[in-house]
Amino acid sequence: MAKTGREAILDQAVADGIRYMFGNPGTVEQGFLDAMAKQPGCRYILALQESIAVGMADGYARALHKPALVQLHSGVGLGNGVGMMYQALRGHAPLVVIAGESGIKYDAMDAQMACDLVAIAKPVTKWATRVIDPASVLRVMRRAVKIASTPPCGPVFVCLPADVLDAPNTEEVFPSTTLTTRVLPEPGHVAHAASLLAGAKKPIVIKGDGVAYSDGQAELTRLAELLGAEVWGSDCSEVNIADEHPCYRGQLGHMFGSHSSAITTQADAVLIVGTYVFPEVFPNLSNVFAKGAKVVHVDLNAYEIAKNFPVDLGLVADPKATLARITDSLDLLMTAAQKDAARARVAAMGSEKERTRSEALAKDRAVRDEVHDMKQLEIRCTGDRAEVKLCVNWQAKVWNPPAAKSIWLGFDAYQTWMVIRSPKSGKPVIQTYIVDSLKPMPGSATL
């Protein structure tokens, strides 16, 4: 017995390693729920509103670096999801969004819920299409997976009329082709990039999520340390470099270009990697880099390189591999004096970051009622039991009416916990919790 188009789509999803369909079904798409009884390899994740379905799929796709499948209902459901699809496009989340409609045979009727779904989806997707031949359902779905997962990743849309989904489908199921994009520049271009950056006295790196997508965090960190460069985020939400790293300075502007330009115009060399410039709502139209500053841009998205501002060298290449090669070239090219100066810049940034952090914590603690900071920790394990010795610094302000003001308490609390494995859940649980002693801080009131 031939499968329906719905059943074939689920089989194709499983072949592509897609285990979940995020959605909010209507009459046309509810058949997917029935089809899942025959294909347990794909589960339906129900959302009560379409933007939530797209948002969940967005996060899931980012976490796995693989396409996620989203099902919306006709024009109304697609309309509800458009806002989050736009965010997925800007955030480069690989989504395959499908939506059903009443059927090709009703095209001439202009009936209830009739609308051009592809036209709605086009502005917020990499690619949008409508399947009109039941023999090409899986062909189109495989193309959608390939396009969504090829950098720059992003959402794609496939409109699936009900009569196409109802029709028998005899297409062969096999995994979609995904493209390898671990491409490197020629050695001469790598050396050129290094030569533009090596002599900088105020270098900065502008990084985006293309770094994380290529798993290039370690390579970015090594380059920043060797070059002594400030690292700033642009259009990014992933962890591309550790937040506590001395070189990481935070995000560039989101709303106003003047915020970003105040930072970028201070640099004499700029490396842009895995992102575009600049993502502000109200960007500066000129003078975003200092006159004479050298600019190198590395990304797999050729459209974004030199889109708005000229660069000295644009490399359409994988961030991870390219960062590694540029760093190796810098290591050979930089003089001992340049490396010493870079190390000094990193040390200065680290000192400034620690000072800023300490000041922020002090301000925070000034308005908080309680502070709990762990100062010491020692764990001794014996079989399924663990003895935990720790010291927690506890500070609080206490007001006892009708006193005129609160009093301050501060103690180092030395504690012993006994942790065992729960016989029910198998997870660690605290069996006993003992405060061995309290050591008051200078100036503390007594308990």
**Which residue blocks in 135-286 are alpha helix, DSSP H?**
137-149, 162-166, 187-198, 209-213, 217-227, 257-264
State the pTM of this model.
Answer: 0.80
State how far the Cα of 375 lies from the Cα of 218, in Å rounded to an integer.
30
State how far the Cα of 193 lies from the Cα of 35, in Å rounded to an integer.
54
Rounded to 5 degrees, φ, ψ at 261 are -65, -30
Contact 318, 214 (CB under 8 A): yes
pLDDT at 256: 93
pLDDT at 325: 98
Nearest to 159 by CA among 110, 116, 114, 113: 116
User: In a structure prediction context, what are the per-residue pLDDT tens digits for the chain, which is 447 residues long?
Assistant: 678 999 999 999 999 999 999 999 888 778 888 888 888 899 999 999 999 999 999 999 998 999 999 999 988 999 999 999 999 999 999 999 999 998 888 888 888 878 899 999 999 999 999 999 999 999 999 999 999 999 999 999 999 999 999 999 999 999 999 999 999 999 999 999 999 999 999 999 999 999 999 999 999 999 999 999 999 999 898 999 999 999 999 999 889 999 999 999 999 999 999 999 998 999 999 999 999 999 999 999 999 999 999 999 999 999 999 999 999 999 999 999 999 999 999 999 999 999 998 898 888 767 666 778 888 999 998 888 899 999 999 888 887 788 888 888 899 999 999 999 888 888 889 999 999 999 999 999 887
Assign a CATH topology to domain 3-169. Answer: Rossmann fold (3.40.50)
pLDDT at 1: 64
The CATH number that domain 187-358 falls under is 3.40.50.1220
Contact 176, 66 (CB under 8 A): no
State how far the Cα of 131 lies from the Cα of 258, in Å rounded to an integer.
46
Output the DSSP codes for 124-149. Answer: GSSEEEE---GGGHHHHHHHHHHHHH
pLDDT at 368: 65
Residue type, 9: I
Structure tokens at 100: 């059903």
pLDDT at 362: 81
Return the ∠ at Cα 320 (arms to 226 and 343), rounded to 5°.
Answer: 10
Domain 3-169 and domain 187-358 have a common topology: yes
pLDDT at 294: 97
In 3-state terms, what secondary structure has residue 378? strand
Listed by start position, the domains of the chain span: 3-169, 187-358, 369-440
